[in-house]
Chains A and B, each alone.
Chain A
Amino acid sequence: MRKLTALALSTVAAIAVTAFSASAADFKIGLSNGWVGSEWRTQMIEEAQAAAAAWKEKGHNVEVVVQSANVDVPGQIAHVRNFINEGVDAIIINPNSPTAFDPVFAQAKEAGILVISTDAEVSSPDAIYVGIDQKAWGAAGAKWLAETLEGKGNVVAINGVAGHPANEMRVAGYREVFAEYPEIKVVNEVNANWDQAQGQQAMQNLLATYPDINGVWVQDGMAAGAWKSIMDAGKTGDIAATGEIRKDFIDLWVSDKLNSGASVNPPGVMASALNVAVLMLDGRELKEPATAGQYGNAMYLPIPFIDSSNLEEAAKAVEGKPGYYSYTSQLSIEDAEALFK
C-alpha cells in the first residue's frame, strides 16, 4: 500500500514536472550545490532562481533545475552527470572540490554544455569561474584592519578549514597585506572550521593567551562568535575585528557600535553567474575573456565592503529580513550585459 501511494505521488510529481517543462523554455540551466550547511547557500539558490525568473521580461524563458544536498565529491560528480543525462544547456555549480571535476566537466563540454563555477574556483579548462576573488576578499579585510590600527599592533587570525582552497586563498590575502605593515605582528593563527561556536571558543582562548591583542582578522560566521567573546570579555572598545554580513550581526554592529569592517562575499554570486550564463548561451562574447586567477579561467566580480562609512546603508538593505539573511549584491542583467560585446 505504501509503495502504491509512493508510486502515485511520484507519478503526480512526474506529470507536474512534464507539464512545467512543456512550456518551451528557451534555456534550461542546472544549479548544483554540494553543501547545505548554511543559510547563505539557501539564499544563493533562491537569488539565482529569482534571477532566472527576471529574464522573462527580456523575452527569455530560463528554466532552472536544482540539485542541492549534502554530498561527497563523487555525489556532486553525479549531480553533473544527472544534468548531462537530462540535457541542460548550462550548469552552474558551487563545487565541493577545486580539481575533482576536470574529467566530468570535459564530458559536459563534449555534450555542448556551458559550465560555470561560482563561489569557488575550479581548475577545469572547460569551465569558467564567475565569482569573487577569495584572495582579494581576505586582503580587503586585512587592509581595513591594518588601517584602523594605524599600521601597528598585535593581530590574531581565526581561519576556516585548513586545506580548503577558499580558506587558503583568504589566508594568502591577509598575509600579503600584513607583510606590508612591519609594525603589525600576527601573533597567532588558528582554525575554527567556519563554525560560529568554534570561533567563539577560539577567541576566548586567544584573549586568555594574549591579553594585549589589538586586532582580529576573522572570516564569515565565525566573526559573530569571536565578537561575542570580545564583548563578554568587556573589550568591545579596545579591539578592532573584522565582521560578517548576516542581519543579526549587522544589527549588533549598529547597536553596540563595534569597531568592525566586513568584506562581502554576496550570496548573489550564483545569480550573477546565471546572468552571465544566459548571455553566453545567447551567443554573446565577453569583452574581456575570463582569464584571471590561478587557473586562468576566472571572471572576478566586485567585492563590496562594509565599514562605518556605509554601515547604515547596509543595515537598511537588510531591514525587515530574517536574522540569517546575508547582505547581498549581484550583477543585474544590465550590469552583465555591459561586460559583453
Chain B
Amino acid sequence: MDIFSVEYMEIFSIALFFLAYFGIITSKNIIKSIIFIMLMQTAAVMFWLKLGAETSAMPAPPIIYEADLLERAVFIADPLPQALTLTAIIIGFSVIAIIITMLNTLYRHHRTTDWGKLEKLVQ
C-alpha cells in the first residue's frame, strides 16, 4: 500500500483539482487565486501523467523491432501523454506569466491586490 505509487496518483490529482478549485472560489487575494490556478494546472498534468504510466495500457511498444529487446521492454510509458503534458505545461506557464504581468500593471496603478477593492477602484 505504497501511497506514493502510481495507482494513487489519480485520486490525488482529482482531489488536488477540486481543492484548488475550492481555493479559487474562496480566495480574496488575486495572487492566491493565481497560485490556485497553477495548482489546478498541476493537477491536470498529474492526471495525464498517471494515464501514461499505467503499466497495463500499452499492448506493444511503439518503435522496437528486435525480438530480444521486446521481452525486456514490457513496461513502456505511453509517449502521447508526455507530449501533451509538455504542451500543457508550457501553455499554462505562459498564460500565468501574462496574468501576472496584467496584475503588475494594475498593482502599480492602484496599489492593491484584493479582488473586492480592485473591482471598486476600477469602476
Answer yes or no: do A and B interact. no
Chain A residues with a Cβ under 8 A of chain B: none
